[in-house]
Amino acid sequence: MNGAVPVPAVWRAPFDVERLRADFPILRELVRGRRLVYLDNAATTQKPQAVIDSLARVYGQENANIHRGVHFLSELATAAFEDARRAVQRLLNAPDPREIVFVRGTTEAINLVAHSFGRQQVGAGDEIVLSEMEHHSNIVPWQMLCEERGARLRVIPVSDRGELDLDAFERLLGPRTKLVSVVHVSNALGTVNPVRRIVELAHGAGVPVLVDGAQAVAHMPVDVQAIGCDFYAFSGHKVFGPTGIGVLYGRQALLEAMPPYQGGGDMIRSVTFERTTYNDVPHKFEAGTPNIAGAIGLRAAIDYLRRIDLAAMGAYEHDLLEYATEALTCVKGLRVVGTAAEKSGVISFVLDEVHPHDIGTILDQEGVAIRTGHHCCQPLMHRFGVPATARASFALYNTYAEVDALVGALRKVHEVFA
């Protein structure tokens, strides 16, 4: 049963990437006649067999709607869903499972905060502080709120290396600042932002902080109490779990004070035509039938991660990133965009005279999957004076041989454009 998956002992360092790869069936697939080299993990990660099996088990043996059923399957599904919430709580080291709200993904988590907390707290002349390296999903909801409320965005600048200017950040904090919302790890640059320090500075000015953790959770242990943030958002599909499920962590006192985001079933205590009273958190924010299988699949992904020695994984990914950076820097005409001291998982680059989309297409012919474009970070592309970049993004199952395949395929790009 999903509620009681035993978690085996942690694998031992050195990090055994070949053993891990065997858990991901898609990595055995051929693409255009070649073994897939999947370097588009920032867009979405592949799924281990344990996650695939858990989804099949839900729909094959355990499917029922949750929370209001008195029959066996409904109670089973409810227990598995609420167990998944506790698994997320442990993953993030959140103090209480009621602080974990299931949503569709990072985008919906941020929209929830913008609609609920934002509409309650932000008025004319108020300010929301973001950074220049935010994903569109951490820009547009705030822009929409600002338009509605007559508030404005203030933007932390990014240096040429792709690091946040914390002095400028401090100067942006003022009596009108209602929220700071920043990305933990940039999907376009790979920069790991000093979120703990950002929270310290913001809290010093009495301002709450939302951290967009979409690119962090698959690469490092995340402890919301150590970070000290007020909200933390991530997507299941970027941490080896299913699509359509994600998480908003929010401090309980904040969530309790916030109005609901959507109305419907499950978020109410009682309804009459005169008046509705709302359910307790987190259910107040989970209107309608949630992605039950998605939450249970996410729990399977979390259990999978718990079997891994995260320190060994971090060291391995760090070495892989260094190896890839060095190897790519040796490719003629290649420039890496984003050279922060603290990086994780991502290398963005441009090649002289070659459009990133052409790079992506030629690499695809070699079975190498990367992403090209603005990566939903148009203001950041503007900051670096490029319309787009090519981006290789790594996960725990990538190998040095795959980096070599990437470099080899880039040589083909040169041959085509010579």
Residues at the contact surface with ligand PLP, assessed by CB under 6 A: 42, 105-107, 135, 137-138, 183, 187, 212, 214-215, 235
The CA distance from 221 to 266, in Å, is 32
Neighbours of 10 (CB within 10 A): 13
Cβ proximity to ligand PLP, 94 vs 214, nearer residue: 214
Beta strands 231-235 and 209-212: pairing type? Answer: parallel
Min. distance of Cβ 3 from ligand PLP in angstroms?
26
**Cβ pair 240, 234 in contact under 8 A:** no
Cβ proximity to ligand PLP, 137 vs 389, nearer residue: 137
Alpha helix stretches (DSSP H) within 97-165:
106-113, 119-121, 140-149
Sign of CA dihedral 400, 401, 402, 405: positive
Min. distance of Cβ 183 from ligand PLP in angstroms?
5
Cβ proximity to ligand PLP, 189 vs 362, nearer residue: 189
Cβ proximity to ligand PLP, 191 vs 339, nearer residue: 191
The CA distance from 282 to 252, in Å, is 9
- The whole-angstrom distance between residue 113's C-alpha and the CA centroid of its chain comes to 16
235's tokens: 């997507």
Short-list 104, 15, 38, CA closest to 366: 38
Cβ proximity to ligand PLP, 214 vs 296, nearer residue: 214
Cβ proximity to ligand PLP, 39 vs 183, nearer residue: 183
**Would residue 334 be called left, alpha or beta, if left means φ above 0 and alpha means ψ between -120 and 50 degrees?**
beta
The CA distance from 143 to 378, in Å, is 14
Cβ proximity to ligand PLP, 15 vs 240, nearer residue: 240
Look up 376 and say whether it is catalytic: yes
Min. distance of Cβ 135 from ligand PLP in angstroms?
4
Min. distance of Cβ 130 from ligand PLP in angstroms?
12
Cβ proximity to ligand PLP, 48 vs 105, nearer residue: 105
328's tokens: 């790519």
Q: What share of the chain is helix, strand, coil (3-state, %, to 5)?
A: 45, 20, 40
- The whole-angstrom distance between residue 275's C-alpha and the CA centroid of its chain comes to 37
Any idea which residue has 């900051």 for tokens? 383
330's tokens: 């040796």
Q: Which 3 state secondary structure label does DSSP give 280? A: coil
Q: Which 3 state secondary structure label does DSSP give 409? A: helix
Q: Of the listed 146, 330, 376, 377, which one is catalytic?
A: 376
Min. distance of Cβ 389 from ligand PLP in angstroms?
14
361's tokens: 């297409």
Q: Which residues are registered as beta bridge partners of 270?
A: 277
Min. distance of Cβ 236 from ligand PLP in angstroms?
8
**Would residue 206 be called left, alpha or beta, if left means φ above 0 and alpha means ψ between -120 and 50 degrees?**
left
Cite the active site residues.
Answer: 376
